[in-house]
Amino acid sequence: MNTTINLAGVELKNPVMTASGTFGSGAEYSEFVDLNRLGAVVTKGVANVPWPGNPTPRIAETHSGMMNAIGLQNPGIDLFCERDIPFLKQYDTKIIVNVCGKTTEEYCEVVERLADEDVDLLEINISCPNVKAGGIAFGQNPQAVEAITREVKKRAKQPIIMKLSPNVTDITEMARAAEAGGADVLSLINTLTGMKIDVHKRAFALANKTGGVSGPAIKPIAVRMVYQVANAVKVPIIGMGGIACAEDAIEFILAGATAVSIGTANFFNPMTTVEVADGIEQYMKQYGFETIDSMVGLVK
Amino acid sequence: MNTTINLAGVELKNPVMTASGTFGSGAEYSEFVDLNRLGAVVTKGVANVPWPGNPTPRIAETHSGMMNAIGLQNPGIDLFCERDIPFLKQYDTKIIVNVCGKTTEEYCEVVERLADEDVDLLEINISCPNVKAGGIAFGQNPQAVEAITREVKKRAKQPIIMKLSPNVTDITEMARAAEAGGADVLSLINTLTGMKIDVHKRAFALANKTGGVSGPAIKPIAVRMVYQVANAVKVPIIGMGGIACAEDAIEFILAGATAVSIGTANFFNPMTTVEVADGIEQYMKQYGFETIDSMVGLVK
Amino acid sequence: MAKKWKEQVTVISQECITEGIYSMWIQTENIALEAVPGQFVSMYTGDGSKLLPRPISICEIDKEKKSLRLVYRVTGEKTGTKQFSQAAAGDCIEVLGPLGNGFPLEEGKGKKAFLIGGGIGVPPILELAKQLDGEKQIIVGYRDTQFLYNEFCQNGTVYVATEDGSAGTRGNVMDAIRANALDAEIIYACGPTPMLRAIKQYAEEKGIVCYISMEERMACGIGACLACVCQSAEKDAHSNVHNKRVCKDGPVFLSTEVEL
Amino acid sequence: MAKKWKEQVTVISQECITEGIYSMWIQTENIALEAVPGQFVSMYTGDGSKLLPRPISICEIDKEKKSLRLVYRVTGEKTGTKQFSQAAAGDCIEVLGPLGNGFPLEEGKGKKAFLIGGGIGVPPILELAKQLDGEKQIIVGYRDTQFLYNEFCQNGTVYVATEDGSAGTRGNVMDAIRANALDAEIIYACGPTPMLRAIKQYAEEKGIVCYISMEERMACGIGACLACVCQSAEKDAHSNVHNKRVCKDGPVFLSTEVEL
Ligand SMILES: Cc1cc2nc3c(=O)[nH]c(=O)nc-3n(C[C@H](O)[C@H](O)[C@H](O)COP(=O)(O)OP(=O)(O)OC[C@H]3O[C@@H](n4cnc5c(N)ncnc54)[C@H](O)[C@@H]3O)c2cc1C
Ligand SMILES: Cc1cc2nc3c(=O)[nH]c(=O)nc-3n(C[C@H](O)[C@H](O)[C@H](O)COP(=O)(O)OP(=O)(O)OC[C@H]3O[C@@H](n4cnc5c(N)ncnc54)[C@H](O)[C@@H]3O)c2cc1C
Ligand SMILES: Cc1cc2nc3c(=O)[nH]c(=O)nc-3n(C[C@H](O)[C@H](O)[C@H](O)COP(=O)(O)O)c2cc1C
Ligand SMILES: Cc1cc2nc3c(=O)[nH]c(=O)nc-3n(C[C@H](O)[C@H](O)[C@H](O)COP(=O)(O)O)c2cc1C
Ligand code: FES
Ligand code: FES
């Protein structure tokens, strides 16, 4: 049995990775899980300069999920390269840097800055509001998706993962646009935009009014989108959205994902990632699967 | 204190109604709740002819929600008019008939057939796949939304509610299109498309592969959309999606809904509708609200 | 219309009767008074993430104590049935019932009857066996371990089939009927679809009246949502299409009414 | 790095100590051994629809028995804290801890100190009072009913403020300090933001070292998600912006470090 997978030429020891923004750069969770056991660590989104993020409250609980409006607080690419990459290099796991920006130029600056760094893949978060397009996210318009993919791809030394927004009518349109622009891998889904109102305070639960819904609540929507995208493009897919156990991860793999990311579940079970890795192995043994690839997209 | 509301000239004794498809035409739930206590009963979608619906399994449980692919099984407008409307006329509640179809003509046929029936409002479910547009739902394209609204409005004797699909990039675009087409009221949200895979059987949980996700899991997305639409159009809004208690209903009202519909919650608590009606009154007393209108859209 | 209630029932006792199969007595206020054999209840987990009912057949009815016995299988680790199995005497569970139509007892009066249960379809046959007034040949099929055997023996002649041959006839309930050269004038059956399909065919070949109890995923449990339909042979009066609702029109159907 | 554990702890005892306020002792395996005053734990509800942790301060630590006391308010009907309040001795709860930095005890050694708690910020002051080695003036403020009063009396001189005047000084903790003409060389405080703001200002005016324990909504509880930040006066070394994480860099901060 072999759990390795291949993402655009990068071999991961298993398909289990972390979802950006839920795992920092791994330091905090390294107290709970052996990072060497993970296929990859995907870092919190990093921008060209430090971002302070949104005012608090930044999170709220929802039924079987949560809502966040962290606002992409990050220390900026310089401190990130100096501190977070060396930390992760101590471990035998792949490093995927999640990149955010408000303009194409900002994304490109980060991507160029990472060219000489020892990281394995770049994940481009295009759910960020595009300031030049009046704040609608890059990921909500196929032309914008293709354009930013192309610009980033031109400059990237590492293979690029385009991370799709689920807040769209037709996710396959965005997936095809990213593929056309040169994406090596697609990851999905980012959070669904939500809102919560405290009826007793008659105020928004989040200072930002809206936030991104994540966790088990959104899993059926995420599985559907992964299935649709897997049937629309040729590049490999990293599936995520509500994965909390091995069965959940396998659901995404059977729907068409080559790898999976675990986000919100870390917050209620810091050992989730490793438990999922173990559970996938067990499942493969139980049903006699020799490789991950033989399970990818098996349910049609 | 006064809980009445006005929807396009129709006065409802309170803002609580049922969500189409979850309450039949009221007969079954009349064993648990006094239908006289409801602002309105919204019936299961009805088409020009009987529809057999989808094969089973038609439903699956999801975290804090469920997924359905009933496939709009319905007895057809003739039997409906003969049996369901007279049943509901026994009660002092408003009757809202939910209408479905596969073509504009089919919708129009139902609407015309209802012209002389004693029903108060029509709710047009445009989440149905538009067979002439290759199966993409009417509600996922603003031109289609405006066109079908216009056609239906032309023929309808009763005020029309256009029921919006949440599976879109920008719900306000659809809301404005419906308003432009002549919608008297908007209702939202219908279900979010999801998928579930049984990893042990390696098969879809639903015979239809995909289904519509409803219940508390989707509430934050529904509240966000109601808030957006309330700030984009002038017509009143019926809010729904995961309402299970009075606080949930009030959350929608504060976000901008004039009325609320209760769907999935009926399945786990058949008394939900009446409990919500009672809870709204309590809330109004507690905080000194004299009318529902004074709460609509209060949180900005 | 028969009355139904949503009640907060109290667990009287809970017991694991064989691996993975639990037997629970619950104290109801009204449900037991109204219940008839072949009806079921909807059980709710109380966990906010598991909202749908778990339909469970009524295995025994004690009208005097207003209590019901439910016998159910735990289907997996993080399931609702697992949660029920952890309830102890005194704990409360939300239950909706009694639901469905139940087995028609009048039709079987004084007749030579097969009462057939397969797997987790065995439990409802027990109360049927207790209440049916006729010549009762009870045929129960299991994969391996039996349960409720002694209770059945008090209510008729019992024939057992096990797939692994560990007890009674090796094979299924049809094998047991053949092996014991049994015959009947009326059949009542509950169990997995392949078993029901075989019984339906057998009954129709022999021209015997046959009632089968069906299963389907449910949401409302009371006939409103149209989740739980099965295909009917004729156009159904309520649906106006070839669909009947298992939760309301069933779960017990005449074998000739439905397509399997 | 101090060790943390996610443990399935057992409830030793549970008591309602005043209306809506509960006191629970839990049996841990490791958490209590590592815990210091001012730290907190994340409690999980076990209900699949309520996934986020409820951060609760450590009120008392019994290293010998490896147990912790948690004193918490039930905030509403369908809440996680309501669920905790229904746990009985023997029940299990998932807990992550110990979390955060805790109150610095060395700084206060031998000094004349204010130990200030307000409302549901009172509990962590108890273990602090037990462990701090100095002249302890404990000032506790309540809306109406007091709790933990007797326990405080065993660990210092106690001054009470109540908003309704039902005990001690009518008003808040600052009113109690003024009414009793108290002074101090160091301050430790936990309570609602307006109280902390007043104390911060008081301390800075008097030039006293002051530690305050802050609250914010949390998701991870260990410093990874950046949900729980407060604004820092200077650029923070970790975040590289003016934000500190309450769960990891705090919850206890020097009053001069943070903006309120
Ligand atoms: C009329 C009727 C009577 C039944 N009587 C019994 C009985 O007496 N004893 C018994 O052990 N089982 C019985 N079943 C099957 C029982 O309902 C399922 O095993 C149970 O719902 C599974 O729930 P879970 O929490 O274990 O599984 P989960 O996987 O957590 O269930 C998820 C959802 O799927 C539904 N579901 C899963 N399996 C089934 C199934 N086979 N049939 C219907 N819904 C299902 C659940 O109700 C729930 O909504 C009956 C089913 C029906 C329709
Ligand atoms: C460091 C720290 C220590 C605390 N110590 C105590 C204590 O010792 N005793 C006590 O009674 N309370 C304490 N609190 C407050 C306590 O965390 C909240 O009252 C509790 O989380 C509310 O949960 P719930 O299930 O009652 O409410 P719900 O409304 O069900 O909570 C929903 C979500 O919001 C979060 N939340 C709600 N209110 C607060 C709040 N005030 N602060 C942070 N998160 C909140 C919950 O954790 C949960 O994630 C502390 C908070 C922090 C940050
Ligand atoms: C607190 C939080 C912060 C997040 N930050 C980022 C981010 O910086 N970049 C990004 O691409 N996605 C971010 N996400 C989205 C997640 O990576 C993931 O796509 C989403 O949460 C769905 O997965 P989950 O349900 O497993 O959490 C964040 C999610 C959460 C909950
Ligand atoms: C079983 C089921 C059947 C439904 N049938 C219809 C329908 O016929 N027409 C329609 O417009 N919406 C239908 N809906 C959608 C609901 O009316 C409602 O928009 C949605 O479920 C969200 O509300 P909820 O979360 O309260 O259920 C159905 C929903 C469910 C769960
Ligand atoms: S479960 Fe709703 S109709 Fe049967
Ligand atoms: S709660 Fe995640 S950083 Fe504090």
**Subunits close to D (at least 3 CB pairs below 8 A):** A, B, C
Give me chain A's average pLDDT, please. Answer: 96
Whether the predicted pLDDT of A136 surpasses 90: no
A245 is catalytic: no
The CA distance from C230 to B28, in Å, is 19
Chain A residues touching D96 at Cβ < 8 A: 270
Q: Which helix (H) or strand (E) holds D196?
A: helix D193-206
B96: which 2 tokens? 């809202």
* pLDDT number for residue B53: 95
Q: How far is CA A76 from CA A42, A69, A125, B32, D225, in A?
A: 16, 18, 15, 59, 16
Cβ of B85 under 8 Å from any chain C Cβ? Answer: no
Written as one letter, the residue type at D3 is K
- Domain D105-213: which CATH number of 3.40.50.300, 3.40.50.80, 3.30.390.30, 3.30.160.270: 3.40.50.80
Whether the predicted pLDDT of C1 surpasses 60: no
The CA distance from C43 to C45, in Å, is 7
Per-position b or e across A196-207, b if 16+ CB within 10 A of its CB: bbebeeeebbbe
Ramachandran bin of A8, using left for φ above 0, alpha for ψ from -120 to 50, beta for the remaining angles: left
The pair phi, psi for residue B169, each rounded to 5°, is -70, -45
**Percent with pLDDT over 70 in chain A:** 100
* pLDDT number for residue A137: 85
Q: Which among B62, B202, B221 is the nearest to A220, CB-wise? A: B62
* pLDDT number for residue A128: 80
Euclidean distance between the first and final Cα of chain A, in Å? 24
* pLDDT number for residue A129: 77
- Average pLDDT on D238-260 reads 96
Q: Which among B213, B242, B255 is the nearest to A221, CB-wise? A: B213
Ligand nearest to the CA of A222: 3
pTM surpassing 0.95? yes
CA dihedral angle for residue B169, residue B173, residue B178, residue B183, rounded to 10 degrees: 110
Span A170-215, pLDDT tens digits: 999 999 999 999 999 999 999 999 999 999 999 999 999 999 999 9
Residue B263 contacts residue B239 (beta carbons within 8 Å): no
Q: Which among D51, D96, D243 is the nearest to A53, CB-wise? A: D243
If one compares C166 and D24, the residue with the highest pLDDT of the two is D24
D80 lines ligand 2 (CB under 6 A): yes
Place of tokens 């073509």: B103
B43 lines ligand 4 (CB under 6 A): no
Ligand 5 center–CA A48 separation, angstroms: 55
Chain D residues touching C50 at Cβ < 8 A: 48
Atom of ligand 3 nearest to the CA of A188: 19
The CA distance from B266 to B287, in Å, is 27
Q: 3-class DSSP state for residue C23?
A: strand
- Average pLDDT on D122-133 reads 96
Give how far C215 is from chain B: nearest CA, Å: 11
| Neighbour-count burial of C137, counting CB atoms closer than 10 A to its CB (0-12 exposed, 13-18 middle, 19+ buried) | buried
The CA distance from A175 to A185, in Å, is 10
Chain B residues interacting with chain A (CB cutoff of 8 angstroms)? 62-65, 67, 136, 140, 167-170, 192-197, 199, 202-204, 210-211, 213, 215-221, 223-224, 227, 242, 247, 250-251, 254-255, 283, 298-299
Span B88-145, pLDDT tens digits: 999 999 999 999 999 999 999 999 999 999 999 999 999 887 777 777 788 899 999 9
The pair phi, psi for residue B136, each rounded to 5°, is -65, 140
Cβ of B245 under 8 Å from any chain C Cβ? Answer: no
Q: Which helix (H) or strand (E) holds A69?
A: none
Number of other residues whose CB lies within 10 A of the CB of residue B170: 17
Could you tell me the residue ranges of all domains in chain A?
A: 5-50+69-192+212-287
DSSP notation for B31-97:
GTS-GGGSSEEEPPPB-SS-B--PPSP-EEEETTEEEE-----B--HHHIIIIIHHHHHTSSSEEEE
User: C229: nearest CA in chain B?
Assistant: B56
Residue C213 contacts residue C251 (beta carbons within 8 Å): yes
* pLDDT number for residue B132: 76
SS (H, E, C) D79-131: CHHHHHHCCCCCCEEEEEEEECCCCCCHHHCCCEEEEEEEHHHCHHHHHHHHH
* pLDDT number for residue D1: 52
Span D2-42, pLDDT tens digits: 799 999 999 999 999 999 999 999 999 999 999 999 999 99
Residue ranges of chain B whose pLDDT lies below 50: none
Ligand 5 center–CA B252 separation, angstroms: 28
Could you tell me the residue ranges of all domains in chain D?
A: 5-99, 105-213
The pair phi, psi for residue D5, each rounded to 5°, is -135, 150
Cβ of A216 under 8 Å from any chain D Cβ? Answer: yes
Place of tokens 């004193």: D71
The CA distance from A289 to A298, in Å, is 11
Atom of ligand 1 nearest to the CA of C124: 8
Q: 3-class DSSP state for residue B137?
A: strand
Span D184-215, pLDDT tens digits: 999 999 999 999 999 999 999 999 999 999 99
Active site residues of B: 128
Q: What angle, rounded to 10 degrees, do the helices at A219-230 and A171-181 form? A: 50
**Hey, of D44, D47, D83, which one would you mutate to test binding to chain C, going by the most C CBs within 10 A of its CB?**
D47
Query: Superfamily for C5-99?
Result: Translation factors (2.40.30.10)
Whether the predicted pLDDT of A39 surpasses 90: yes
CA dihedral angle for residue C229, residue C234, residue C237, residue C238, rounded to 10 degrees: 10
Span C93-149, pLDDT tens digits: 999 999 999 999 999 999 999 999 999 999 999 999 999 999 999 999 999 888 999
- Domain A5-50+69-192+212-287: which CATH number of 1.10.10.60, 3.40.50.10190, 3.90.1010.10, 3.20.20.70: 3.20.20.70
* Of the candidates A181, A169, A279, the residue with the CA atom closest to the CA atom of residue A228: A169
